[in-house]
Structure 1
Amino acid sequence: MTILDKIIAEKEKEVRTLKLETNKAAPAHQKSVVRIADSFRSTETMNIIAEIKRASPSKGSINLEVNPAEQAKKYEACGAGAISVLTDKTFFKGSMDDVRNVREATDLPILCKDFFIDTVQIDQAKAAGASIILLIVAALTPEKLKELHQYATEQGLEVLCEVHNEDEMKQAVTLDAAIIGINNRDLKTFNVSLDTFGRLASMVTNPETVLISESGIKTRSDVLHVRNSGAHGILVGETLMQAEDLTEQFQALQIPLSKGDAANAR
């Protein structure tokens, strides 16, 4: 059983509990939030989805004491285009309250990063103040992927479809996903290769599709590597969570999106 299998098994338990709950938390204050499917295609520098991540199955503890609201404010001040909040409790030590707290602290788009397998989770994320949800193609059947994508879109949420290989990218392309996240980490081995991004990005023919590179982004040269393969944005968690100088780290990653400016980016 892979770690993804273990996580999905836990999510199935959580969904059953959510459906039994009768006292739902009051929805977070709804703010007017820009859509990254539009904004990420109109910027001059690399868009950064800055992640709040306490821990992970592959890395263990990263920053268990982080204050999500304060971290979000720091990210916004440094120029983040969106905030990603890991809400899985069992494996990543997050919670939906983290999304609520971040929403109170910022008007930036918020990606609720979890393992969505049911519409009840989407309702929960929206109520907490998320404007984007993550759908991991590897965790869903094609039918369930289509169902959840349609449901989230009908709720006014954006969807980041995450893929890891060619078969998953074919599904995302067939779905006509507006935002596709290419995860450079192999789900089975946990090895990371930035070449994964270029290989899978080449399969996308719709010029309107926003491509996000996920995992393994640490340096300016890493960003150049994925930028040159078509990335409009990068999702960065561990590198930012552990940065000694957050402003300096952001400056290193926010390279020009135009390849013509590559010389100035080095």
Structure 2
Amino acid sequence: MNVLARLADYARERVVEAKRRKSLAQIREEALTQPRGEFAFEKALSKKGLSFICECKKASPSKGLIAPDFPYLQIAQAYEAAGADAISVLTEPREFRGSDRYLAEISATVNIPCLRKDFTVDAYMIYEAKVLGAAAVLLICSLLEEEEIKAYISLCDELGMSALVEAHDEAEVRLALRAGARIVGVNNRNLKDFSVDIQNSASLRDLVPPHVIFVAESGIREAADVRAAVDMGANAVLVGEALMRAGDKKEKLAAFYAAANRVKECLS
């Protein structure tokens, strides 16, 4: 079994357990009683220039423990102070050492939108994300059928949330577009074997029309990678490990902004 399949199976187990604690009807009611979102995530990525989604991640299956000390609120606040457009928060508990608590507390602390980075396999997880304060969820084409992606995007629309639909190859990009994705992320990391090819985004960029937000994910480590993202016409990049390992996250993000020829007042 590849890593992605294992993560998906565990996500299904987690949903079963979550439904024992709180039924689908209960979590749905809780989500719908909250104010409808304003699609803050996709608005943040629609700005002129390259947008940055900065990740709070304690560990990963490929790298193991990345941040033994994990002051997640301080990290999120540092990202916001450095001018991040959005924050990606890992909530998968086993392989990524994530937690729903991280998302709930970060989303309540910062004023920029948060993406729930998890392996969405059930509508329950979308309602859950809304309750936790997320502005967006991740939908991975390798895990979902086209009709499921359509249904989940529709549910996000009902809640005022965004869906980052992740693809890895041409067939998945076309599937995402058929399903109505407004944000397509191309992962440079193959989640089946965790190899990384930074050129993957570039090779698939032309498949995504201009009105759809294009996100280059994974493998963004240095200024040259940021410049490559700008050159390919990406609207945004998702950066995880490079920032998590940086001693000075504000300085690292400032270097990325400089590479993208983007200057923010907060960095001056």
Same fold (TM over 0.5): yes
Matching residue of 1:163: 167
Give 1:254's aligned amino acid: Y
1:113 aligns with 2:121: no
Matching residue of 1:123: 127
TM (norm. structure 2) is 0.89
Shift of the 222–65 alpha-carbon distance from structure 1 to 2, 3 Å rule, reads same
Write out per-residue CA displacement over residues 49-77 of structure 1, whole angstroms, 9 at most, x where no aligned residue: 11000001011000132122211111000
Matching residue of 1:20: 20
Matching residue of 1:6: 6
2:141, 2:165 within 8 Å by CA — same for their partners in 1?
yes
2:216, 2:238 within 8 Å by CA — same for their partners in 1?
yes
Give 1:37's aligned amino acid: E
Runs of 4+ in 1 over 2 A off after TM superposition: 22-44, 255-259
1:36 aligns with 2:37: no
1:140 aligns with 2:144: yes
Shift of the 131–147 alpha-carbon distance from structure 1 to 2, 3 Å rule, reads same
Matching residue of 1:246: 249
TM (norm. structure 1) is 0.90
Matching residue of 1:97: 101
1:88 aligns with 2:92: yes
1:200 aligns with 2:204: yes
Greater shift in the superposed pair: 175-184 or 33-42 = 33-42
Distance 1:76 1:135 in 2: 24
Distance 1:30 1:65 in 2: 34
Greater shift in the superposed pair: 89-98 or 20-29 = 20-29
> Shift in Å at residue 29 of structure 1?
8.3
2:57, 2:244 within 8 Å by CA — same for their partners in 1?
yes
Distance 2:36 2:176 in 1: 29
Write out per-residue CA displacement over residues 142-183 of structure 1, whole angstroms, 9 at most, x where no aligned residue: 221221121122111111001111110011111231111110
Distance 1:132 1:255 in 2: 27
Greater shift in the superposed pair: 174-183 or 23-32 = 23-32
Q: Which runs of 5+ in 2 are unaligned?
A: 264-268
Distance 2:188 2:43 in 1: 24
Matching residue of 1:264: none
Matching residue of 1:52: 56
Write out per-residue CA displacement over residues 2-37 of structure 1, whole angstroms, 9 at most, x where no aligned residue: 011111111111111122223879879869766232
Distance 2:34 2:180 in 1: 31
Pairwise CA RMSD of aligned residues?
2.3
Count the aligned residue pairs.
Answer: 258
Distance 2:75 2:261 in 1: 29
> Shift in Å at residue 199 of structure 1?
1.2
Q: SS of the residue aligned with 2:207?
A: coil
